[in-house]
Amino acid sequence: MDYGRLTIDGQLEKFREIATRNDLVPEVLGRAAALDLPGWYLTAGCLCQTVWNAVTGRPPAEGIKDYDLFYFDDSDLSWEAENSVIEEGARRFGDLPATVEIRNEARVHLWYEDHFGIPCAPYSSTEAAIDSFPSATSCLGVRLGSEGEWRVYAPHGFADVFNLVVRPNPGHAPRSSYEAKARRWQEQWPELTVLPWPG
């Protein structure tokens, strides 16, 4: 079935159904909710890659190297404050058979240029950080609401995710970051169609 041709409500329902086939997704979501971090989302590769696995007939968690947990706390931009959250996360997630990487997106601008070679304006929220991912396809985030309901942020929708299309997100991340990610993803999921960086 071409899930990318479902209505947006249908795509959202199918996305949740597929994502929860990967047992680690609801497990990480539940533990993350208990951390109660401001503006948190489970985001990026672990979500779209779970869908790619389903669409291509692979086991749900195959090839997923980490689970990114983002939050936004601009009340203390010190490394010490972020590291204390990372250490608490290590205690909460350390028994899982996967790496959960926790990052305070309010601090990204402090280290981004050293890492990627170009400056990054401070983000205003976790959603703004998700908007800046190198690939529009992986601009996804999920968190649990107060009643355990899924809160999904998907600024570009789900069609590319279901259709195995990797689309660049120019104007935010550097081209080199997009191309490196796309190469790595296509090695694991050769069925992907990688669209070129424009210009």
> Hey, how many other C-beta atoms are within 10 angstroms of the C-beta on 26?
17
* pLDDT of res. 42: 98
DSSP state for residue 139 in the 8-state scheme: -
SS3 content of the chain, % helix, strand, coil (to 5): 45, 15, 40
* pLDDT of res. 3: 73
- DSSP-derived 3-state class of residue 120: coil
pLDDT beneath 50, residues of the chain? none
φ and ψ at residue 100, rounded to 5 degrees: -105, 115
* pLDDT of res. 106: 97
Q: pTM (2 decimals)?
A: 0.93
Residue whose pair of structure tokens reads 């968690």 in the numeric block: 61
DSSP state for residue 145 in the 8-state scheme: -
Determine the distance from the C-alpha atom of residue 77 to the mean position of all C-alpha atoms in its chain, rounded to a whole number: 22
* Residues 53-79: tens digit of each pLDDT: 999 999 999 999 999 999 999 999 999
* pLDDT of res. 4: 67
| Torsion sign over Cα 65, 43, 37, 29 | negative
* Residues 80-111: tens digit of each pLDDT: 999 999 999 999 999 999 999 999 999 999 99
- Alpha-carbon distance of 17 to 25, in angstroms, equals 11
* pLDDT of res. 119: 84
* pLDDT of res. 140: 97
